[in-house]
Every structure is written in structure tokens, then in C-alpha cells.
Amino acid sequence: MTLRYLILFTLSVLLLSCRKDNESPLSTGTAEWKDAPVVSSQSGNTVIQIQGVQGIKWNARITEGAAWCSFSLANSIPEKDGVLTEGINALYVYFSENTDKEDRKASISIQIGEGTPISLVLTQNGKISGTDAETDTKRPNKAWAEIPDYQANPAFQYVTHYTHLNGKSVRNYSICYDQSHKAALWVAYPLHKCYLGNLDRTDEWTYDPDIESQYQIYVKRAYKEHPKYDRGHQIPSADRTQTREMNAQTFYFTNQTPQVGKGLNQDIWQKLEEVIRKNYICADTLYVVTGAYFAHSNTKATDNKGVKTDVPTHYFKVLLRTKSGMTGKWVRQCDASQLQAIGFWLENKAYSSTQITKDICKKVSEIEAITGFTFFPGIPSQVKNDFNAIEWNLN
């Protein structure tokens, strides 16, 4: 009997040991791509999401493709260490432009604790003349009417945020984020009644998950200079009230700038947003680009960590739609006589009136000349070279 029990005990210990060893790699953590592991030939970045037990150390190494991939935007860093925090941990992978016609691959090995290394592969498409931008997975799709032309600038990061609507994944808004100013220079979005509902503001300010936090201003609470400066939205919270997800995305730190509160954000700017929602939305879709302009960086505001950030000198909105509002056609299928565009240009200052008149309007082409951006590319230039105040119900 004694020998029998001894044998059973020994087998039990061996089984438990085997089960523990087998389960260890599974329980340590996971690593996976946030988006599809295929990117366009353009330079950009993508994200690996790492999750696991808080406090466990991890290591990531680029084992293949380190010549064009890095864990840093500024330097070539093929290896990075970290410690897991609660929730999703973002590991950014930066890649340079692929000027060859052939696809190329980068291999990344991620070790989480004592677990088995996880291997991930990133594929970058080869350069395909004329069509590559249409299949770009990290930059906004240039086929969308609201997207301005891209500008090659190492400080610019292009991001599109998607949301779910009626069971489908649709674009919420796109941004051109300037890491040097820590602000979006433009935020582009379609505006249609399908985005509007009855939900209240989430008011849950947080980091944009697609942009490294070191390039963002931390304003969970108001700026130190409040009430002088509000956290002024670029795409308004009130333009995205159909679902909680789409509204929450308007409260990313990247969608706000220090905007004068009384007399601007709380008054004429808010009134302008209301007029746009009430008078300019149409069945054909209204296309909007809101932006911040920095004529200089002389004025600063202070975030919740004591970091100084540049204050925009001006704000703008440019709009495009069909004149009838119900052609049933895409704007690039319309001729100049069927389209209308207008721009609004305001200083970052307090205004004495909330009236939306042609006095704060400019031609879209004029705002293009000031900002250096090309808005609504692909539509006839004469549409942007003038505006008819009567067509926009303005005095």
C-alpha cells in the first residue's frame, strides 16, 4: 500500500508540474497588432497592444527589418524594455517610406515575463504609383472629400478614428497632428444627421490612443489659466451624439487646444457650431475641416503637469456641400455649379458679439493661402475661390 501511494503521489506531482509549465506562457501576457499588420508604402507608425499581469517586465526586439523599423520616431532603436501597467500597454512601431516596388517585412519578438516569446510580422506594401494612397491603412483615405492634401513633415502625424454605427465601422474624424505644437492643425470630418442623437457629453478627457502620450498635452482638468482658456474642441462633442463611443473620441487630448473661453469658445465659436448643425447639414453630407493656426508661439498655456504649450493665434472652419443638399451624388461627381464652399476665420480672442455674419468669413482659397493646406482637393478651384453669403444665409 505504501508503495502504491508513493507512486500515485509522485505521478500527481509530475502532472501538476507539467500543467504549471504549460500554462505559464499563456498566463503571462499577450501581444497583438492594434490594426491590420499591413501598412502602406508611406512612412508612419502602427501600434502593438501588450496586456498581462501588472508589474511584469517585457522586452521587444526587431529581429528583422531594423533598417527601416524602429521603436522611436527620432532615433533608430531596435529594442525596448518596459513594465506592464493595468489595461492595454501601447508599443509604437515607426517605419520609413518604402520606395521599392516590392513588399518588405519586419519581424518583432516580444518576451513577456518568463513566457514563450511572441513573434509578430509587419508587412509594408511596395510603392504602387497612383493607387497607394487609396489603400493606406494608417493615414486618412484621400478619397474622402473632407481630407486635405497631405504635407510631408516629420512633425506631422495623420490619424483617423473609426467608430461603430448601425453595426458597421465608419470614420469618425481624421486629424493632422503637429507634435511640435502638440496640437491638431486640422480635424476633418463628415457631418450628417446619422451622427446626431440625444446622448450627453461624456466629458471623459483622455489620451489619444493612436499618438504617443509624450507628444500630447495632459488636460484631464482645465488649463492652469482657466477660465481664460477652455479645452476647446475642434470637432464638437455636439456633432457626435449618436453613440457613446463616437462622443468619447471627441474628448481625446489631441482634439482640443487652449481656446479663449468667454467671448469665443463659449460664445461666438459655439454659436457657429450650432448654425452649422442647424442650417448647413444636408442629405448629401456636409464636409467640415476645423483647424488651429499658429502665426507665432509667443503665448503659452499650462497643462495639469505644469508643461507649457503653444496657444493658437487663430481658428478656422471650411465647409463644402452641394447647393441643393439632395443630389444623391458624391461631391466629386458634381460640377462647380452644383457645389458651394465657405470658410470662417476667427482670432483666438474674446468677441463682443455672437452673431455669425460674413464679416468672419473668408474664401476657402484665402485660408489655404494662410495655412498652407489644400482643402477639398479634386473639386473645381472656382468653388473655393468665392462664396455667396446669401447661399449660406449670412448677412
**309: helix, coil or strand?**
strand
**For position 358, what pLDDT does the model report?**
95
DSSP labels, 85-109:
-SSPEEEEEEE----SSS-EEEEEE
Q: Name the DSSP letter for residue 145.
A: T
Instruction: Give the count of beta carbons closer than 10 Å to the beta carbon of residue 100.
Output: 11
For the domain bounded by 29-124, which CATH number is listed?
A: 2.60.40.10
Instruction: Give the count of beta carbons closer than 10 Å to the beta carbon of residue 350.
Output: 15
Tell me the C-alpha distance between 238 and 202, whole Å.
11
Helices (H) and strands (E) in the chain, counts: 5, 20
Tell me the C-alpha distance between 96 and 77, whole Å.
13
**For position 20, what pLDDT does the model report?**
40
Topology alike, domains 29-124 and 139-392: no
Whether 96 and 68 have beta carbons less than 8 Å apart is answered as yes
Tell me the C-alpha distance between 334 and 321, whole Å.
10
Q: Which residues lie below 8 Å from residue 155, measured CB to CB, with a gap of 6+?
A: 178, 179, 180
Whether 287 and 376 have beta carbons less than 8 Å apart is answered as yes
- H runs (alpha helix) in 147-277: 244-248, 268-275
Cell of 119: 513573434
Give Cα 234 to chain centroid, integer Å.
12
**197: helix, coil or strand?**
coil
pLDDT per position as a tens digit, 176-201: 999 999 999 999 999 999 999 999 99
With a cut of 70, which residues of the chain have pLDDT below it?
1-27, 128-142
Question: 139-392: which CATH topology?
Answer: Extracellular Endonuclease; Chain A (3.40.570)
| Phi, psi torsion values for 31, nearest 5 degrees | -140, 130
Instruction: Give the count of beta carbons closer than 10 Å to the beta carbon of residue 81.
Output: 10
Can you give the residue ranges of every domain in the chain?
29-124, 139-392
Beta strands across the sheet bearing 57-64: 38-39, 118-124, 104-112, 57-64, 79-83
Cell of 211: 499618438
By residue count, the chain amounts to 395
Tell me the C-alpha distance between 102 and 99, whole Å.
9
Tell me the C-alpha distance between 163 and 165, whole Å.
7
Strands 89-95, 69-70: pairing is antiparallel
Strands 57-64, 38-39: pairing is unpaired
**For position 137, what pLDDT does the model report?**
44
**For position 343, what pLDDT does the model report?**
98
Tell me the C-alpha distance between 71 and 91, whole Å.
8
Give Cα 128 to chain centroid, integer Å.
25
Whether 52 and 113 have beta carbons less than 8 Å apart is answered as yes
